[in-house]
């Protein structure tokens, strides 16, 4: 408890400290290289368990790390986020340095916005929220099912309910859209976020992921897990992908078409390929024996990208397959499929209750605008 309190004090002091330094994680950076470049003993990495070595390879390009130094420039503390929930914590001790994994403390705020469209849904929402990530997300989802340019008229209404996480006074990770409504020539089009995807009022999915299983595997050797972090016991570790045990040399195919954003060697993942599929979807393939694609090239769904191996931190040949939605890891086994979902039974009932509640909230924030545009 005292430890947690001290940590919170440190975190708070970070927000105002003049010696706190923000460092952006660059492409291809590994924890080992990071330690080396900051003259921190490499044993901090070598002493990690295999699972933790793999986890430390999860740090995403563009992540913001914080480095706190004393007046003489000696590093006192480093925080490196590896997901929305967990960060690597390196801190000075009497003997040198220590490393552990600790929860990320964030504040979640729900925002509700409503407006009458004057210029374009994109322009107006951006001006109202000042949040380009949120604006892009909302417009991209709607574009899947509606031709916005063609059907929207001036004074059509738009409303969004979403949550945003804040870390050290700044927005952190991506917004979560709970519900939205956009009018097209006075016709209401609602959408509701539910279990990692979006549905309309009739519980039909709006955005369909179209990912295919990238490998013929024998069994799942380690399932996906958010490993919800216990702040005191500090035992559970997340596993941001699924390990698919397969014969050495089994071909690996792109789960969907997209652009290869990384093909190279990275820490615990060994030979790794990452593909950006657009719409905020990214896939990662780790521990390959051989890569057969290059950074920057375009691949088609089902195209060969490499072979199963055991490179990096691995106890036997397997594919570590990761799927990210807006940089947030999601369970690949729940997303690999070829058709849109339609909710049924008790799940549908649960969704409809939630949707009705959000529909009322959206209508409530829209009614003053409707009466007085
Ligand atoms: Zn794995």
- CATH number, residue 274: 2.70.70.10
What is the pLDDT confidence band of residue 234, given thresholds at 50, 70 and 90? low
- 213 domain residue, yes or no: no
How many helices, marked H, and strands, marked E, lie in the chain?
Answer: 8, 21
Residue 209 in 3-state DSSP? coil
Claim to verify: residue 239 and residue 329 sit in the same structural domain: yes
Contact 30, 60 (CB under 8 A): no
pTM of the model: 0.74
End-to-end CA distance of the chain, in Å?
52
Count CB atoms within 10 A of the CB of residue 16: 9
Domain with residue 96: its CATH number is: 3.10.450.350
Which residue, among 102, 29, 101, has the nearest Cα to 61 in the 3D structure? 29
358 and 281 housed in the same domain: no
Question: Is the pLDDT score of 9 beyond 50?
Answer: no
| Domain count across the chain | 3
What separation in Å is there between the alpha carbon of 222 and the centre of ligand 1? 7
* Whole-angstrom Cα Rg for the chain: 23
Whether 3 has a pLDDT exceeding 80, the answer reads no
Domain-terminating residue out of 50, 77, 103: 103
d(CA 215, CA 320): 11
Quote the CA–CA distance of 180 and 189 in Å, as a whole number: 8
Instruction: Let me know: does 282 contact 327? Beta carbons within 8 Å.
Output: yes
Kindly report, residue by residue over 289-326, the tens digit of the pLDDT: 999 999 999 999 999 999 999 999 888 999 999 999 88
Give yes or no: residues 265 and 330 share one domain.
yes
Task: Tell whether 322 and 233 lie within a shared domain.
Answer: yes
- 363 and 315 within one domain: no
Burial of 346 (C-beta count, 10 Å sphere; 0-12/13-18/19+): exposed
- pLDDT for 171-189, tens place per residue? 888 899 999 999 998 889 9
Residues 29 and 79 in one domain: yes
Domain end (from 103, 133, 157): 103
274 occurs within a structural domain: yes
Give the DSSP letter of residue 96. Answer: S
What residues form DSSP beta bridges with 239? 225
- The upper half-sphere exposure of residue 206, i.e. CA atoms within 13 Å in the direction of its Cβ, equals 26
Mean of pLDDT over the chain: 88
**Pairwise CA distance, residues 182 & 362, whole Å:** 10
Q: Which domain holds residue 26?
A: 2-103
Contact 294, 258 (CB under 8 A): no
Same domain, 201 and 235: no
Expressed in angstroms and rounded, the spacing between residue 285 Cα and the centre of ligand 1 is 9
CA–CA distance, 303 with 306 (Å, rounded to integer): 9
Final residue belonging to a domain, choices 77, 103, 129: 103
Cα(81) to centroid(ligand 1), Å: 18
User: How many other CB atoms are found less than 10 A from the CB of residue 208?
Assistant: 14
Q: Token digits for 217?
A: 């595997």
- Tell me how far the alpha carbon of residue 201 lies from the centroid of ligand 1, in angstroms: 37
Structural domain includes residue 244: yes
In terms of domains, do 52 and 200 share one?
no
Give the side-chain half-sphere CA count within 13 A for 115.
Answer: 16
List the structure tokens of 213: 């299983």
- Ligand 1 center from residue 313 Cα (angstroms): 9
One domain for residues 58 and 121: no
What's the gap in Å between 136 CA and the centre of ligand 1? Answer: 31
- State whether 86 and 8 are in the same domain: yes
Residues 243 and 318 in one domain: yes
Whether residue 126 has pLDDT greater than 90: yes
Taking the centre of ligand 1 as the mean of its atom positions, its distance from the CA of residue 245, in whole angstroms, is: 10
Same domain, 227 and 320: yes
């Amino acid at each position: 408890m005292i430890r947690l309190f001290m940590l919170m004090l440190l975190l708070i002091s970070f927000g105002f400290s003049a010696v706190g330094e923000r460092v952006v994680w660059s492409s291809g950076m590994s924890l080992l290289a990071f330690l080396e470049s900051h003259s921190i003993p490499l044993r901090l990495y070598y002493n990690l368990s295999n699972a933790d070595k793999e986890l430390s390879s999860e740090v995403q390009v563009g992540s913001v790390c914080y480095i706190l130094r004393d007046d003489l420039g000696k590093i006192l503390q480093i925080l490196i986020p590896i997901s929305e929930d967990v960060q690597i914590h390196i801190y000075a001790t009497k003997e040198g340095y220590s490393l552990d994994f600790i929860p990320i403390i964030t504040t979640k705020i729900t925002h509700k916005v409503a407006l009458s469209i004057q210029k374009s849904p994109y322009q107006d929402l951006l001006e109202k929220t000042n949040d380009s990530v949120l604006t892009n997300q909302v417009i991209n989802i709607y574009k899947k099912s509606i031709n916005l340019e063609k059907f929207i008229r001036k004074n059509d209404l738009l409303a969004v309910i979403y949550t945003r996480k804040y870390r050290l006074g700044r927005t952190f990770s991506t917004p979560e859209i709970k519900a939205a409504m956009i009018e097209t020539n006075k016709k209401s089009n609602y959408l509701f976020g539910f279990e990692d995807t979006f549905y309309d009022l009739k519980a039909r999915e709006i955005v369909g992921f179209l990912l295919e299983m990238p490998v013929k595997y024998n069994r799942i050797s380690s399932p996906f897990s958010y490993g919800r972090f216990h702040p005191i016991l500090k035992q559970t570790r997340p596993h941001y992908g699924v390990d698919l045990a397969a014969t050495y040399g089994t071909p690996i195919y792109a789960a969907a078409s997209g652009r290869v954003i990384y093909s190279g060697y990275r820490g615990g993942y060994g030979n790794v390929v990452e593909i950006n599929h657009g719409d905020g979807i990214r896939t990662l393939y780790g521990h390959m024996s051989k890569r057969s694609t290059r950074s920057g090239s375009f691949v088609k769904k089902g195209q060969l990208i490499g072979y199963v191996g055991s490179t990096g931190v691995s106890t036997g040949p397997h594919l570590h397959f990761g799927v990210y939605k807006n940089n947030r890891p999601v369970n690949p086994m729940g997303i690999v499929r070829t058709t849109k979902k339609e909710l049924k039974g008790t799940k549908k009932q649960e969704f409809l209750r939630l949707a009705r509640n959000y529909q009322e909230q959206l209508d409530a924030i829209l009614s003053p605008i409707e009466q007085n545009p």
